[in-house]
Protein backbone atom coordinates (compact mmCIF):
# COMPACT_ATOMS: atom_id res chain seq x y z
CA UNK A 1 0.00 0.00 0.00
CA UNK A 2 1.34 3.40 -1.01
CA UNK A 3 1.17 6.24 1.51
CA UNK A 4 2.09 9.88 1.05
CA UNK A 5 2.52 12.97 3.20
CA UNK A 6 0.66 16.00 1.77
CA UNK A 7 0.21 19.57 2.93
CA UNK A 8 -3.32 21.03 3.01
CA UNK A 9 -4.01 24.40 4.59
CA UNK A 10 -0.67 24.61 6.40
CA UNK A 11 -1.02 21.17 8.03
CA UNK A 12 0.56 17.90 6.96
CA UNK A 13 -1.37 14.64 6.69
CA UNK A 14 -0.36 11.03 6.01
CA UNK A 15 -2.80 9.73 3.40
CA UNK A 16 -3.51 6.53 1.49
CA UNK A 17 -5.84 5.80 -1.41
CA UNK A 18 -9.60 5.54 -0.66
CA UNK A 19 -9.07 7.25 2.70
CA UNK A 20 -11.26 10.11 3.94
CA UNK A 21 -10.04 12.86 6.24
CA UNK A 22 -11.12 16.17 7.69
CA UNK A 23 -9.11 19.24 6.69
CA UNK A 24 -9.61 22.92 7.46
CA UNK A 25 -12.49 24.34 5.44
CA UNK A 26 -11.66 24.82 1.77
CA UNK A 27 -12.93 27.57 -0.50
CA UNK A 28 -16.53 27.21 -1.59
CA UNK A 29 -16.95 25.57 -4.96
CA UNK A 30 -13.84 23.40 -4.71
CA UNK A 31 -14.66 19.94 -6.08
CA UNK A 32 -11.23 18.39 -6.67
CA UNK A 33 -7.71 18.96 -5.36
CA UNK A 34 -4.32 18.10 -6.82
CA UNK A 35 -1.66 18.00 -4.11
CA UNK A 36 2.10 17.60 -4.18
CA UNK A 37 3.60 14.78 -2.12
CA UNK A 38 6.24 15.76 0.43
CA UNK A 39 7.13 12.12 1.19
CA UNK A 40 6.12 8.79 -0.37
CA UNK A 41 6.17 5.43 1.42
CA UNK A 42 5.90 2.39 -0.88
CA UNK A 43 6.39 -0.75 1.18
CA UNK A 44 10.01 -0.66 2.40
CA UNK A 45 11.01 2.13 0.01
CA UNK A 46 10.74 5.73 1.26
CA UNK A 47 11.25 8.75 -0.99
CA UNK A 48 11.74 12.17 0.57
CA UNK A 49 11.13 15.28 -1.51
CA UNK A 50 13.15 18.45 -1.72
CA UNK A 51 10.62 20.03 -0.98
CA UNK A 52 8.29 17.77 -3.01
CA UNK A 53 8.72 14.38 -4.65
CA UNK A 54 9.06 14.91 -8.39
CA UNK A 55 6.45 13.19 -10.56
CA UNK A 56 4.10 12.25 -7.70
CA UNK A 57 0.66 13.85 -7.53
CA UNK A 58 -2.13 13.11 -5.07
CA UNK A 59 -5.67 13.75 -6.30
CA UNK A 60 -8.50 14.23 -3.82
CA UNK A 61 -12.25 14.70 -4.20
CA UNK A 62 -14.27 16.93 -1.86
CA UNK A 63 -17.06 14.83 -0.31
CA UNK A 64 -18.57 17.45 2.05
CA UNK A 65 -17.83 21.17 1.70
CA UNK A 66 -18.71 22.03 5.28
CA UNK A 67 -18.66 19.73 8.30
CA UNK A 68 -18.89 21.10 11.82
CA UNK A 69 -16.48 19.81 14.42
CA UNK A 70 -17.15 19.18 18.08
CA UNK A 71 -18.23 22.07 20.28
CA UNK A 72 -15.46 23.43 22.48
CA UNK A 73 -16.42 25.19 25.67
CA UNK A 74 -14.07 27.89 26.88
CA UNK A 75 -14.53 28.92 30.52
CA UNK A 76 -12.83 31.90 32.11
CA UNK A 77 -13.03 31.93 35.88
CA UNK A 78 -11.39 34.07 38.53
CA UNK A 79 -11.68 32.88 42.09
CA UNK A 80 -13.15 35.30 44.68
CA UNK A 81 -13.91 37.91 42.01
CA UNK A 82 -17.32 36.67 40.80
CA UNK A 83 -16.01 36.52 37.25
CA UNK A 84 -17.36 33.58 35.27
CA UNK A 85 -17.69 33.76 31.49
CA UNK A 86 -18.36 30.94 29.07
CA UNK A 87 -17.96 30.97 25.33
CA UNK A 88 -18.03 28.26 22.72
CA UNK A 89 -16.37 27.50 19.41
CA UNK A 90 -17.17 25.05 16.65
CA UNK A 91 -14.56 24.63 13.91
CA UNK A 92 -15.64 24.09 10.30
CA UNK A 93 -13.96 21.41 8.22
CA UNK A 94 -14.14 19.96 4.72
CA UNK A 95 -14.20 16.18 4.23
CA UNK A 96 -12.04 14.95 1.37
CA UNK A 97 -11.45 11.49 -0.08
CA UNK A 98 -8.09 10.56 -1.60
CA UNK A 99 -8.78 9.29 -5.12
CA UNK A 100 -5.29 8.33 -6.26
CA UNK A 101 -1.57 8.63 -5.63
CA UNK A 102 0.32 8.66 -8.95
The parent domain of residue 28 ranges over 2-101
pTM, two decimals, is: 0.85
| Confidence (pLDDT) at 51 | 93
Indicate the number of domains in the chain: 1
| Confidence (pLDDT) at 74 | 97
The helix (run of H) or strand (run of E) holding residue 16 is: strand 11-16
| Confidence (pLDDT) at 75 | 97
Per-residue pLDDT tens over the stretch 17-70: 999 999 999 999 999 999 999 999 999 999 999 999 999 999 999 999 999 999
| Confidence (pLDDT) at 17 | 96
Amino acid sequence: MVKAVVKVGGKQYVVAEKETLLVDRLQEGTKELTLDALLVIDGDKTTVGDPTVKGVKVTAKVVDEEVKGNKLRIIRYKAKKRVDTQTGHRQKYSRIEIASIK
